[in-house]
Amino acid sequence: MRRDYAKETESRAAWIKQTLKAAGLDAVVFGASGGKDAALTGILCRRACENVMGIIMPCESSRNFAADKDDALLLAKQFDIAHIVVDLTSAKATMINAINMPLIAAASTNIAPRLRMVALYAVAAQRSALVAGTSNASEAYMGYFTKWGDGGCDFNPIADLTVTEIFEFLEYLGASKVFYTKAPSAGLFDGQTDEEEMGITYAEIDSYLLDGIAGPNFDKMQRAHDISSHKRLPIKKYPN
């Protein structure tokens, strides 16, 4: 059943306002990646308050400096969102050099999301702001996010929404079609797309999450969900 996005917009904006009020703050920063999730998070935060800043954080990938950056700037212009650009390419290179050992692909690509988290919290501290998260329910179920990277935030206004719903929400809000028609990508490296990397489409994931329909890749989806459970749980602590 399609959500009532007029009510969703109102209720989520009110929730963001209350979250800021409870923290005694009136400002938000978010990672403006140029993707669907960042677009929806930015729009909702801007509906809730005036003091919102998108942090565009290209890192190494040429796509980050081209399409991703262009789309992030498009969002900022369309919805009157302040923004800055923080190039993390040299920071990643410095980190890799400091580690001084060969890194497997997962170890290397996860550095960028974690550097982005560091940058977001540095800017948030400077501006007395909260960090808004941009992870959706489909990716959370699959564990398709970086622990202490894009998974690190103070609040997340879209965490319960599937990719299907995010596309619908963006269309309702009048966002540029680019945000709900281009292939979703974390932009971790050139040519990367989310669905190819996961080996399953968002349509199949969402069919299960929204309607309980197990598709042909259900076993693969469940394996990804099971092995990524640590990402969705609180820090395990020694029992007192």
Q: How would residue 56 be classed by pLDDT, with cut points 50, 70 and 90?
A: very high
pLDDT in tens, 174-212: 999 999 888 887 767 777 888 998 999 999 999 999 999
Amino acid making up residue 2: R
**Distance (Å, rounded) from C-alpha 52 to C-alpha 16?**
12
**211/214 Cα distance (integer angstroms):** 9
- The pLDDT of residue 20 is above 80: yes
Mean pLDDT of all residues in 153-165 = 98
Lowest mean pLDDT among 18-22, 52-56, 189-193: 189-193
Domains in the chain with CATH codes: 5-230 (3.40.50.620)
- What does DSSP say about strands 51-56 and 27-31: parallel, antiparallel, or unpaired? parallel
d(CA 234, CA 218): 26
Percent of the chain past pLDDT 70, that is, above it, reads 100
Amino acid at 238: Y
pLDDT tens for each residue of 87-128: 999 999 999 999 999 999 888 999 999 999 999 999 999 999
